[in-house]
Amino acid sequence: MQPFTGNCPMCWVSERRQSSQNPTASCGEDLRTKQQLGYIVQLSNLEGKRFLKLRLLVQTEFEPTKVRARIEACWQKQLRWILEELEEEEFHRQKEGLASILAEAPKNLREEFSRHWAELSRRRYDFGRRQKKLEEVRRAELEGFRGFVRQLDLAPRLYIEIHSTQESKALEADAAQAVDRSWEGMEAAYAFRSTASWRDGSSQARSKL
């Protein structure tokens, strides 16, 4: 069973960590306010057809590789807090907060339409999915969440960098995590698209873009 789907508790616990009695700031708060890496720092989750994604967006004037190293260090610090320091009481408090959001009825027709349209646009048609999420969240336990976090840490990272024509500012940081593949420029993008295998939710057939 994978209880953590949709409104990702990783984002939920991270972004509300500063509201607890633990004095250490959340990952997004740390990068934005304490380290002042950029004016825009955003941690969010995206739900696809077959997998979940966590996205950390940083707009910065510093060297991209050094920023990436700072992001990874902050991320690992957050993971250690969840795996080693997060207490049952705090976990259940955050869990109940997430459950209360999932249990909320739509405030208007537009919000109700958006919930249904998400299922239609994904061609999933699981209109009871929100209720299923609520039930799974209510059943969730701390050790299960920690197991999910361990899997999350093993997931591959994808770094997308858009560079300015201006020279980046220097930044003190440890060496950035090595990347196993990189693409630069439109020719590399076209080459990747011509050889990649794309899969949808109902087919494993290879398709060309």
Arithmetic mean of pLDDT, 101-110? 93
Predicted confidence (pLDDT) per residue in 68-79, tens digit = 888 888 888 888
Q: Which helix (H) or strand (E) holds 175?
A: none
Predicted confidence (pLDDT) per residue in 131-146, tens digit = 998 999 899 999 998 9
Domain ranges, residue 152 = 9-178
Q: Looking at the domain assignment, is residue 167 inside a domain?
A: yes
CATH number of the domain bearing residue 36: 3.30.830.10
Predicted pLDDT of residue 111: 93
Arithmetic mean of pLDDT, 186-203? 72
Considering only the C-alpha atoms of the chain, give the largest distance between any 2 of them, rounded to a whole number of Å: 52
Q: Looking at the domain assignment, is residue 4 inside a domain?
A: no
Can you give the pTM of this predicted structure?
Answer: 0.65
Q: Looking at the domain assignment, is residue 159 inside a domain?
A: yes
CB 27 within 8 A of CB 14: yes
Predicted confidence (pLDDT) per residue in 144-160, tens digit = 989 988 888 888 888 88
Q: Looking at the domain assignment, is residue 78 inside a domain?
A: yes
Q: How many domains does the chain contain in total?
A: 1
Q: Looking at the domain assignment, is residue 205 inside a domain?
A: no
Supply the DSSP string of 132-167, one letter for each residue. HHHHHHHH--HHHHHHHHHHHHHSPP-------SSP
Q: Looking at the domain assignment, is residue 126 inside a domain?
A: yes
> At which residue do the structure tokens 């950029």 appear?
38
Q: Looking at the domain assignment, is residue 171 inside a domain?
A: yes
Say how far apart CA 87 and CA 90 lie, in whole Å: 5
State the pLDDT confidence band at 123, using cuts at 50, 70 and 90.
confident
Q: Looking at the domain assignment, is residue 13 inside a domain?
A: yes
Judged by average pLDDT, the poorest of 33-37, 60-64, 100-104, 162-166 is: 33-37
Say how far apart CA 130 and CA 7 lie, in whole Å: 10
Predicted pLDDT of residue 175: 63
